[in-house]
Amino acid sequence: MIEESDNTLARRHRRGQEPEEQDKYATLRQLLNVIFMVGAIIGMFVYFKYSHSVGGGIIICSMLFKVIECVLRLMK
């Protein structure tokens, strides 16, 4: 019977990744994702409550963090 951890390692190995390989940008990517999510929520609140242009600007600025995170993921 294959344990779930062995199955996960086997799947990673098939994709070409070594099981020991760690993403060196993992914590930075998680931080960028948190900043993006918080910024998007604040931007939506401002957009619907106060000003469409200011809220849209906040959302666009938070999307820049997501773009940076995606670039880091692709560099992996």
List pLDDT tens digits, range 1-60: 555 555 655 555 566 655 555 678 889 999 999 999 999 999 999 999 999 999 999 999
pLDDT of res. 5 = 59
pLDDT of res. 14 = 62
Q: What angle do CA 55, 70, 48 make, to 5 degrees?
A: 15
Reported pTM: 0.68
